[in-house]
Homo-oligomer: A and B are copies of this chain.
Amino acid sequence: MIGIIGTGLVGSGWAIVFARAGCEVAMYDAAPGAAAQARVVIGQQLEDLVAAGLLEDAAAALARIRVATSLAECLAGAVYAQESVLERADVKRQLFSEIDAVIEPQTIVGSSSSGIPASVFTGHVGCRSRCLIAHPVNPPYLVKVVELVPAPWTAPETMAQVRALMQRVGQAPVSMTREIDGFILNRLQAMLLKEAWQLVHDGVASVEDVDLTISEGLGMRWSFMGPFETIDLNAPDGVADYAQRFGGLLHGIAESRRAYATWDEGLVGEVERQRRERLAAGELNARRAWRDRRLMALTRHKQEVETQP
């Protein structure tokens, strides 16, 4: 049994992940009626997955998701609970007090927090050794990565058990040894984005052309290998060979940036202007639907390729 606490976009996505994998799921939201409403939306999302060839039986998955009317009911019998409430330290801190009051001794609690580390809001509770960050990318039923980040008091067995659970339900858990700003995904994104914005700031290339460098270049390999495997295969004798051949060059490039321009009004305005030329503000939602269809098609493609002999 899995408990889902908070049934917004993120919590609903998690409910799909676990129900799709065969787990019984109980959903709870402090706002009256919110969980029942979320279950209706989930039903539609499950149908979309069926239409995309990513799920066989939407009704069976939905039948495994039930609405709990209290936090205690949501957590009763749970081996794991995923917390996805508002990203605010005081809100999470208060919630973990409430969780602590009703939690059973076997239950582990993962937080979907994308920025606030668990040490900020779990230090005061008795169950803190069974608390951690389990940060997803949206929507988690299409993008597999989950960052597992321990607080200083998170037990090693807690990390190991959640890693095993996430793998069992088809996610791709990434285990960090300690808290660090932005975790891994947003750190890697931040470093690439800073350079991308700087190239536009310096007038080296357009927003669209910087995007093409990734989407028709590096992003191809990175969608099925990571950056380390990419360079491991890009030198005859592997990654140490690559480091010897190109380490100096890459280090030099990275060191060549002494400072980055802030994203001030002028720069943000320029990037916004170029993006709106390509995509009018009124088209943003249609483009998000396109992105989700592309993600579904890519997920299906990866499944097909990875299950080939």
Contacts and interface: CB of A to CB of B under 8 A. Distances in A.
19 contacts: A115-B249, A144-B217, A174-B213, A175-B206, A176-B204, A181-B252, A181-B256, A184-B204, A189-B227, A191-B254, A210-B227, A211-B226, A222-B222, A223-B298, A224-B294, A229-B279, A237-B281, A237-B284, A238-B281
B190 A239 contact: no
A180 interface: yes
A178 B204 CA distance: 6
A73 B177 CA distance: 62
A240 B269 CA distance: 7
A185 B250 contact: no
The binding surface of chain A is classed by DSSP as helix
A142 to B, nearest CB: 8
Interface string A155-197: 0000000000000000010111110111011111111111110
Interface string A261-294: 0110000110110011001010010011001001
A231 interface: yes
Interface in A36-89: none
A175 B213 CA distance: 10
Interface residues of A, number: 100
A211 B240 contact: no
B143 A216 contact: yes
Contact of A203 (B177, B210, B226): B177
B228 A275 contact: yes
A266 to B, nearest CB: 12
Interface string A215-244: 111111111111111011100111110011
CB-based closest 8 A-B pairs: A211-B226, A219-B222, A223-B223, A145-B217, A172-B216, A240-B272, A190-B253, A144-B216
Contact of A271 (B172, B175, B239, B299): B239
Contacts of A195: 187-188, 191
A209 B185 CA distance: 11
A233 B286 CA distance: 10
A88 to B, nearest CB: 14
Contact of A220 (B175, B188, B191, B295): B295
B254 A190 contact: yes
A145 B222 contact: no
A253 B305 CA distance: 35
